[in-house]
Structure 1
Amino acid sequence: MTNDQLAAKERRLTLKNGAGWAAAFGTGNHAGKSVNLHSVLQLATAWACIRLTAQAVSCLPLAMYERRGDNDRVRIDDDDVAEVICDSPNEDQTPLEYWESQVAWMAATGNAYSEKVETGRRLSALQPMASTHCWPFRDAEGVLKYNYSDRGKNEVLPREKVFHLRGFGFGGDVGLSPIQFGAQAFGSAIAIDEAAGKLYGNGLQASGVLSSDKTLEKDQREALQKIMERFVGSTNAGKLMVLEAGLKYDRLALSPVDAQMLENKRFSVEEICRWWGVPPIIIGHAAQGQTMWGSGVEQILLAWLTLGIDPLCDRIEARIKKQLIRPTGNRRRYAEFNREALLQMDSKSKAAFLSTMTQNGLMTRNEGRAKLNLPRVAGGDALTAQTNLAPLHLLGNATDNNTARAAMRAWLGIEQSERLPDDHT
């Protein structure tokens, strides 16, 4: 068998490729519904969980840094990898669009793939690859490769050509897909949505009955059935029905099973949120008796950022360092998302953060102004700190008069060596 035939055999979708079959035809479940990426994205809860997770990560500014002596670090802009991941990933996408798509793929399927385009030994672009069309496998020698199907053509890419983001898993070559392992929950949610849609399509009511004290002929029943069909469905709601020959219409009330189904629809929202670790309040769903505002909601948001968004950022940063930076030989460089950007829309928290950082000597005034997009000011590059606390052995060295004079000198801009006219000390 030739090498081309061996490659073609490896590219075929075999019975062992469960992920490939699941992506194409869906995963089986007791509800009997096809559960795949397309069907799951039609659930509003799944759409919101994936969208908000992808947007929360992609909106964080990404930059590359290099560690220097004394554990100092500087930002690196004139670097090929930094230009690709921070400025222009490829010819078509902005950095926000690229990382949003990668996080969305990883959240939905557990994996995100991009082809590394290189000019010589220089990384020039990252071209996204659909996770539903890419399957990692190991050849007979145990070497990791990627089988990618694009526009009807199959291609086998070596490990060095693919930037692979893995989601949660137990090790191995791929992350676990929430859609595949949550097929029971998603199948039930799809079935509930379908049943609810049919219920609303019938005017949110079960069938009704017509009664009469007379016996109808067969042709009369058929004619009456056609007449009644004009009043069935939500599009015919409100029409006036005229009954004759002693006919009476009795509407059947909504059955307890149908009413419970609508309650199950609320439960399915919380069940789906668990698969992505997104609190229901984040997607606009409040549990019974819970409000949409308050300090409790704020703590839930912080927990989601800490346990959901931050681990995703760490996962992406580690993969960038391993697959994009280390091959260049720059082991001191690393990429990092700026988590402080999450405070951009919270003016109170941002003001408290900047105030604390500048008053405790951790950030200069100009560094704080830069985060507010304000111009630099003269004298703003010095680190400052509060001096209201002093060691015990210095207590009593400063008097109230001296403090007042020092404040007056600072206000008037007088140097320490100069004296005020009434200063006789």
Structure 2
Amino acid sequence: MKLIDRILGREKRAPIQSNDPYLAEWFGLTGGLGGYVDPVRASGIATAHACISIVSQNLAATPLNLYRRTDNGGRERETDHPLYGVLHDVANPTMTAYEAREALVASVMIAGNAFARLEWNGRGQVSALYPLDPGQVAVERLESGRLRYRVSSDRGGVRVYLQEEILHLRYRLARDGVMGLSPIQIARETFSLALTQQETAAKQASKSFLPEGALIFPNVIGKDQRQSVLDRMEAKVNSDLSTRGILVLDGGTDWKSFSFSSKDAEFLESRKLTNLDICRIWGVPPTVAGITDNATYSNSDQESRALVVRCLAPMARRIEQAMNASLLTVQSGKTLFIEHDLAGLLRGDLKARYDAYSVGRNGGWLSVNEIRGWENMPMINGGNEYLSPLNMTEAGNRQADPLNNEEDP
């Protein structure tokens, strides 16, 4: 727009629409019906913190390997590639791979977005990965459809990065197709209720659950007598003596309570239900998050597997596809790919693993060295051979029965 148009007031600007939760935090919008919920406070709820820690720590501890596709349709680890060390050992000079991956997953679960600055070497390979604070990153869509990232520094400066220089993980894609939605903001009513219940419990605890009510006298008493009774009542209730809970009410005095107990208001049951709702938001089984009211040995083992299948596996696939698109060039992506190794989380106990190995070994599709590799044992000579059961062969290669001197039907 020209300067003369601005002076004459003929400049027209389209309204800016944004669903960025940090704008609500900037303007001080707090909880309430449909209002903004502070992600920091919400993630500090015990159940929410447990869910975030379980998912982020388990995925960070799960091996994230760089594989190369082989000619026979298999795979092999590309341990000589610099990206393998970034994902598996050290993300950058000041952060291990575990710490970086844990921070990225936690950021996705809290803010809905996770960003990391990529450092490329002269060969076009990612050599370092630096996680960024999502509150300091602004995303813009260019006319070409590509994305541009503006990162604010703690010193007040702003630096612009292209799409190839940033790893962007998103929880759930928003309508604009650019930003991810925060699960805390999606379920803000649940977290608002949880925060309110937590504040109510804290207020009751700060008062040491002291009673609130009225003293009812059968006859009218004077102002001085009323004040004297209140002073003695308050001194007795607030006393640190062991007999502070014993009150003597004479002259027909009656006590009328104004407050409800937690049991009468079903406050504790309501908090339990809210904790279950928080587990449902992230798909974490209740027993895994420490809610063991209805836990048994059987369902605890099944819910541990459900954590991997229903919670960790979708999050792992979300991360893998984003990393394959951002950390690998188009040419290298034809032969290389990034993938989590979740098999170790589903292996079960020692007996279940060995029974499964026995089936695979006797069936002829597992070798000794493959089994020893999964158990972190060294390879042995001759361990790459596969068994071939005598009673199993291809249909076209059946031989004649020597007793009947005729071919098997």
Match of 1:351 among 351, 354, 360: 354
Aligned pair 1:260/2:266, yes or no? yes
Q: Give the TM-score of the pair, scaled to structure 2.
A: 0.81
8 Å CA contact 1:102, 1:112 repeated in 2: yes
1:116 aligns with: 118
Aligned pair 1:136/2:142, yes or no? no
8 Å CA contact 1:230, 1:236 repeated in 2: no
Aligned pair 1:103/2:105, yes or no? yes
Aligned pair 1:273/2:275, yes or no? no
8 Å CA contact 1:24, 1:36 repeated in 2: no
Q: Residues 277, 309 of structure 1: CA spacing in aligned structure 2 closer, same or farther, 3 A cutoff?
A: same
Equivalent-residue separation in structure 2 for 1:215 and 1:54 (angstroms): 66
Q: Which segment is superposed worse, 237-246 or 256-265?
A: 237-246
Aligned pair 1:314/2:314, yes or no? no
Q: How does 1:119-268 map to 2 (within 5 A)?
A: 119-120=121-122, 121-139=124-142, 142-153=145-156, 154-169=158-173, 172-204=177-209, 206-212=211-217, 215-230=220-235, 232=237, 239-241=244-246, 243=248, 246=251, 248=253, 250=255, 252=257, 254=260, 259-268=265-274
User: Cα deviations across residues 280-303 of structure 1 (Å, max 9, x unaligned)?
Assistant: 22212246xx33321x44333333
Q: Residues 206, 316 of structure 1: CA spacing in aligned structure 2 closer, same or farther, 3 A cutoff?
A: same
Aligned partner of 2:183: which letter? P
8 Å CA contact 1:106, 1:167 repeated in 2: yes
2:5 aligns with: none
Unaligned runs of 5+ in 1: 2-13, 399-425
Aligned pair 1:372/2:378, yes or no? no
Unaligned runs of 5+ in 2: 2-15, 404-409
Shift in Å, 1:152? 4.3
Shift in Å, 1:33? 8.0
1:72 aligns with: 74
Q: Which segment is superposed worse, 342-351 or 27-36?
A: 27-36
Aligned partner of 1:299: which letter? Q
Shift in Å, 1:131? 1.7
Aligned partner of 2:71: which letter? G
Match of 1:88 among 69, 87, 90: 90
8 Å CA contact 1:33, 1:191 repeated in 2: no
User: Cα deviations across residues 292-320 of structure 1 (Å, max 9, x unaligned)?
Assistant: 321x4433333332122111111111112
Say which structure is richer in helix: 1
Equivalent-residue separation in structure 2 for 1:141 and 1:98 (angstroms): 31
1:47 aligns with: 49
Aligned partner of 1:158: which letter? L
Shift in Å, 1:200? 3.7
8 Å CA contact 2:21, 2:36 repeated in 1: no
Equivalent-residue separation in structure 1 for 2:62 and 2:303 (angstroms): 20
8 Å CA contact 2:125, 2:328 repeated in 1: no
8 Å CA contact 1:32, 1:187 repeated in 2: no
1:20 aligns with: 22
2:407 aligns with: none
8 Å CA contact 2:363, 2:388 repeated in 1: yes
